[in-house]
Amino acid sequence: MGPSVLCPSLVFLFWALVMVFLGIPSVQSLRFDLPSGHTKCIAEDIKINAMTVGQYNVVKNEEGASLPDHQKLTVRVTSPYGNSVHFSDLVESGNFAFTSTEAGDYMACFWVADHKPPTTVTVEFVWKTGVAAKDWPSVAKKGQIDVMEMELKKLEETVQSIHEEMFYLRTREEEMQELNRNTNSKMASLSFLSLIICLAVAGLQLWHLKTFFERKKLL
């Protein structure tokens, strides 16, 4: 009876500690200043088939005030291969949501039109991926489940996310090892070829010197 109760508790504690130390799921909450005529880009490494949501807005000095066009944002989010997954032009705020079809660094770039005299706007940006990107309150409301069940479901999906992340990292490691093997093989081939060329050049030089000395009757 003891081990059957103890093991799940230890497993739960282990995964809880993993979640704390690895920081999974990924959440980026930023506030930054953006001068007019400048662009700021933020990258996020996202694995394939991961849910992603983002929200951004210009921080206003006065609540409810309307911003002029030169203080509004142009926002573009691109995939690792340069495909556009979100674009907004001259907006005060906005959001995006997508499921990644490519693995790698997704880039969110913010730009404010050039203006004289120069101005600076403050931008708030929240970027969530994985389990953190899901709307859990809506899930709980739609499913008519209590808070505990919702937390268990969130924990289950977090563990699944960690499991998928481990396989993803293992795949990346195998790709890097294969790249290292190919690189070492090519370097060995090039080194062998360089050695052959050096020996051939040395042989030609000796032959040329011998021929030269024989012509001059020095040998």
Mean pLDDT rounded to a whole number for the chain: 79
Residues 117-124 have a mean pLDDT of: 90
What pLDDT was estimated at residue 154? 72
Angle (deg, nearest 10), helices 147-215 and 2-22: 60
Q: How far apart are CA 56 and CA 186, in angstroms?
A: 47
Residues 52-81 have a mean pLDDT of: 87
Q: Which domains does the chain have, with CATH numbers?
A: 26-133 (2.60.120.680)
Q: What are 85-110's pLDDT values in tens digits?
A: 999 999 999 999 888 889 889 999 99
What pLDDT was estimated at residue 22? 42
> How does residue 70 score in pLDDT terms, banded at 50, 70 and 90?
confident
In this predicted structure, the answer to whether residue 47 has a pLDDT above a threshold of 80 is: yes
Query: Cα 145 to the chain's mean position, in Å?
Result: 34
Q: What are 125-183's pLDDT values in tens digits?
A: 999 887 665 665 554 554 445 666 666 777 777 787 788 888 888 888 898 999 999 99
Say what the pTM is: 0.55
DSSP 117-176: S--EEEEEEEEEEGGGGS-HHHHHHHHT--HHHHHHHHHHHHHHHHHHHHHHHHHHHHHH
Higher pLDDT, 65 or 34: 34
